[in-house]
Structure 1
Amino acid sequence: MTLLEPQEKVLVEAAFLDSDHGEIGCETCHGGDAESSEKNAAHEGLVTRPSLSDPENACGDCHADIVSSAQMSLHRTLAPFTTILKRHQPE
């Protein structure tokens, strides 16, 4: 059995490929160098979770309305987890 390269292990739902996001190159949101044919150079500057780490730059051009509230979203701040952890701390 031939081992797969890491980039060959990326699984994407078939429906994703037919979506607006599937129509653009990975580098549009994740960065990297799409022109490079060398794996390490192509992945230099890669952002694995751009919607969490820098939604303004990664998503803002297409999703300005969503990005404007992203900084304080529960998904980004993880506020619910902090609240839960504080509730369960021993006194």
Structure 2
Amino acid sequence: MSNNVLYWIFMGVAFALPFIMGVWLMRTTNRLAFSFWISTALNVILTVAAVFWWKSVSVEGYRMMFGMAFYGVSSVNLMVLEFFALLSIHKKLNT
């Protein structure tokens, strides 16, 4: 498998796994802050691990920085989307 395919697989895992974990925690505990911070911590851990992996396999500086920028944008997007999803679930469970 090429590094490019692995890049997108890692990006998908780093995006989907924290989101699924956060929604599951929210549905089981109904604690918004707890669910958000646990999923954010998992998001940061997976993103940092993926960034270090990408840095180790990239030889060209522009390609490395471009890939890291996408990981950063994905991480921030996940935090925003997940916060609003968790807030929606929280409001739905409390009504």
Q: TM-score, normalised by structure 2?
A: 0.33
Higher relative contact order (CA 8 A, sep 6+): 2
Bigger radius of gyration:
1
Q: TM-score, normalised by structure 1?
A: 0.34
Q: Which has the higher helix share?
A: 2
